Structure 1
Amino acid sequence: MRTPDRGSTTGAASWTDDEPARRLPEGRAQRVNPPLSAIFDTKSIAYNVRLVLSCIKCCIKKLV
């Protein structure tokens, strides 16, 4: 009687190996995302608002 080819049935299945878990980096990642406070810095927001307002003001002058 022919047995189907399923690999070795005597050992643990390959998907139960914990080898990938051993290859994970240890400790904290070297590069981390900046906190939201750095993205929404109040000084840069104030600068951007002034820049946009001056551009709008300039565009209105061109239309008039």
Structure 2
Amino acid sequence: MACPICGKETVQSYRPFCSKRCADVDLARWLSGGYAVPSQDPDDAEEALDAAAKAAEERLPRRH
């Protein structure tokens, strides 16, 4: 079986990956939304835009 990240032979302790590095790369892709499935549902798009706007607001420095 080949590692889905780099294509090398898998190692039993990290299966289906070949190393901790490739397992971590895969985890980072999941956490960053790299494996997201596109949706055609308009409600999903609206929720995503709202979440992005809220995240952007939280990153801005507050002015008093």
Please report the TM-score for the alignment, with normalisation by the length of structure 1.
0.34
Larger Rg: 1
Please report the TM-score for the alignment, with normalisation by the length of structure 2.
0.34
Higher relative contact order (CA 8 A, sep 6+): 2
